[in-house]
Structure 1
Amino acid sequence: MRVGCMGELLVEIMRDKVDVPLGVPGVFLGPYPSGAPAIFADCLARLKGEVFFVGAIGRDDFGFLVLERLQKDGVDTSGIKILDDFTTGVAFVTYFSDGSRKFIYHISRAASGQIFPEDVREEDFVKVDLLHVMGSTMLINENCRASYEKAIRIVREAKKRVSFDPNFRPELLGKDRARELFLPILRESFIVFPTEEELSVLTGEQDPLRAAEKVLSEGPEIVAIKQGKRGSTVVTKKEVYTLPAFPVEEVDPTGAGDCYCAGFLAALSRGMSVEEAGRFANAVGALAVTRKGPMEGAPTWEEVEAFLERF
């Protein structure tokens, strides 16, 4: 299965300890290659998926750090531009002991935000079997939104499928505008990967199962709810699968949700059932949190199989 992906390429710089606000002088770790679409693409490539990526970096060390990581893991980076007039995007992040996190982004006016419809070439996207849409990219600016809209149109006209991770970031755009942007994509998608909070943003419902039913009524076949330390719940029109998380020592949760999506789609492409794909994705997400850095814990297919043999 060839998967098309597009979006922000950036480095992440994070606090070395939890509960330290970003505005307080102190120690940061990084830079780590990051960007939700990039984490997804890198993980899927490590799971033996074929991935094509469209994005932009600056001609700087941060950009080459991200580009070289994607290339090393097998992502087709022929759609990535290297820009002289923009620097590579940066995200600063801190985590709190209640599980919440806070970001400061340098994205929309960096290379990350310089994706335009002309970068979306029809000859590239008609070749993909699936387009994975990241909501965070839709929130960056108008040209990123228009680029994804063009990619979705090309893929759907070619009778190919769309998967959608809302990846809502309130630091980038408000809930009402995000819902307005996300609903048309949801209706074009066969699978949606929301968190419980994102389900509420999409539907206005606080109960996750009722919210998932609302999403399914819009057209998707599968809603895979990412629930962090609790695992995931996968909902179809006929079944609800509650899949507990695997016990691991968490080092850094950044990117676990993106890796979950990669694991789920990789498993489906290998012929696994929806329930089996959810369990496999839980394992991928669990392994992803065991190392510091958004991409550092992304496992290979063989590593996931070996991990699952222990349970």
Structure 2
Amino acid sequence: MTIPHFISIGHITHDLVGNGITPGGPALYSTCAARNLGISVGMITSFSRPLLQPGLLQGIDIRCQESQKTTTFANLYNEHGERRQIIESVADRITSTLIPPEWRAVSIVNICPVANEYLPEIVRLFDKALIGICPQGWMRRWDSKGQVFRKKWENFKEVLPYADIVFFSEEDVSDPKKAVETYLPYTKMVIVTQGKLGASIYSHNGVHRSPAFPTIEVDPTGAGDVFATAFLIRYFETHDVPESARFANCVASFVVEKEGIYGIPGLDDVKRRLNVAR
């Protein structure tokens, strides 16, 4: 069995945008981004009949827990770009039995739940990997009507000691500075994405701020997931924080220019934009 270089773990979702439905979810954005950057990829997921265009998952090794439902979100944005979410259904939970034993030797893992779909102990399976955590799915709750709200990440002490980098948006928490102070003692690096302002990277050596690439925003959905993916890939190659952040901001800048998953760029597009920026 071929072992992917990069895997992501999380639900593929249906995202309701305007009058249409588009496939989404951090795991899908992440895996497609890694593939488009020329990396061999795998995904652990659960869904039922996702709305996927032919070829969207080409080149991705998928291990799926078949479910009667697909996790479905309505993402509503106001004029300030602030998002309000409604969750309409949730797919089956993901268990560790879905992960081929050989995949535990993978080089990079993106742990990216979207709806609390697996237990935090799954992070312990990859003791040789560079592990990124995108904890958004552990930082949300919803009421009986599906209205999604932020909540504290309660199980972070079970996850972060086994991980290398945690990523979250400043919109995911009420106090980003306090969140950094809470998480950093338990891991090596905390990265806060800040939309048009770029990202701030915190480590035990200090903080590095990386500006966003200028672009015309159409749909910000998935940009943070793609940033995390690109950062992990570049950091694995270089161990250079400023270079990895610049690369990740460049890749993410393409995503906001189109609706949904289809704005994720290829490596050649990224190289051209990086060269122009220089």
Instruction: Say if 1:215 and 1:67 are closer, same or farther in 2 by CA, change over 3 A.
Output: farther
Question: In the alignment, is residue 107 of structure 1 matched against residue 89 of structure 2?
Answer: yes
For 1:269, the equivalent position in structure 2 comes to: 236
Deviations, residues 194-239 of structure 1 (Å, cap 9, x unaligned):
2224465xxxxx362x643442222x22222100011111122113
Letter in 2 for 1:162: I
The gaps in structure 2 that reach 5 residues or longer are none
Query: Residues 13-47 of structure 1: CA distance to partner in whole angstroms, max 9, x if unpaired?
Result: 212xxxxxxxxxxxx1x321211111111111111
Write out aligned runs for 1:72-91 (5 A).
72=58, 74-77=59-62, 79-83=63-67, 86-91=68-73
Would the aligned equivalents of 2:42 and 2:60 in 1 still touch at CA under 8 Å?
yes
In the other structure, the counterpart of 1:303 is 269
8 A Cα contact 1:224 1:278, kept in partner: no
8 Å Cα contact 1:11-1:66 kept in structure 2: no
Q: Any conservation in 2 of the 1:264–1:280 contact (CA below 8 Å)?
A: yes
What is the DSSP-based 3-state SS (H/G/I as helix, E as strand, rest coil) of the residue aligned with 1:65? Answer: coil
Q: Tell me which residue corresponds to 1:291.
A: 258
Matches of 1:184 and 1:38, distance apart in 2: 25
Q: Percent identity?
A: 25
Compute the TM-score of the two structures, normalised by the length of structure 2.
0.86
Q: Structure 2 residue aligned with 1:245, among 190, 197, 212?
A: 212
Distance 1:64 1:99 in 2: 25
Contact 2:9 2:113 in 1 (8 A): no
* More moved, 279-288 vs 30-39: 30-39
Q: Indicate if the aligned counterparts of 1:166 and 1:198 stay in contact, CA closer than 8 A.
A: no
Report matched runs for 1:143-292 at 5 Å. Answer: 144-146=117-119, 148-149=120-121, 151-156=122-127, 159-167=128-136, 168-171=139-142, 178-198=152-172, 200=174, 206=175, 208=177, 211-218=179-186, 220-271=187-238, 273-292=240-259
Alpha-carbon distance between aligned partners in 2 of 1:283 and 1:194, rounded to the nearest angstrom? 18
- 1-side partners of 2:66 and 2:27: how far apart? 17
CA distance in 2: counterparts of 1:13 and 1:179, whole angstroms: 26
Q: Is the 8 A contact 2:193 2:200 kept in 1?
A: yes
Deviations 1:94-139 (A, max 9, x none): 110122111222332xxx3342343234x143231232111424x2
Q: Which has the higher helix share?
A: 1
One-letter amino acid of the counterpart of residue 64, structure 2: I
Contact 2:22 2:51 in 1 (8 A): no
Q: TM-score, normalised by structure 1?
A: 0.78
Q: 1:3 aligns with which of 1, 6, 20?
A: 6
Give, in angstroms, the shift of residue 299 of structure 1. Answer: 0.9
| Structure 1 unaligned spans of 5+ | 16-27, 201-205
SS in 2 for 1:80: strand
- The 1:240–1:52 alpha-carbon spacing in structure 2 relative to 1, beyond 3 Å, is same
- List per-residue Cα deviations over 1:52-100 (Å, max 9, x = no partner): 1111222x3xx25178512x2x2211x12444xx133322221101221
CA distance in 2, matches of 1:207, 1:106: 28
2 CA distance for matches of 1:90 and 1:8? 10
Output one character per residue of 1:228-287: Cα deviation in whole Å (capped at 9) or x when no partner. 011111122113211111111101111000110111112113325111100111111111
Q: What's the Cα RMSD here?
A: 2.4
Structure 2 Cα separation of the partners of residues 87 and 97 of structure 1: 32
Contact 2:30–2:225 under 8 Å retained in 1:
yes
For 2:11 and 2:54, the matched residues in 1 are separated by: 12
- Give the secondary-structure state (helix, strand or coil) at the position aligned to 2:126: helix
Compared CA separation, residues 251 and 277, structure 1 to 2 (3 A): same
**Aligned length in residues:** 268
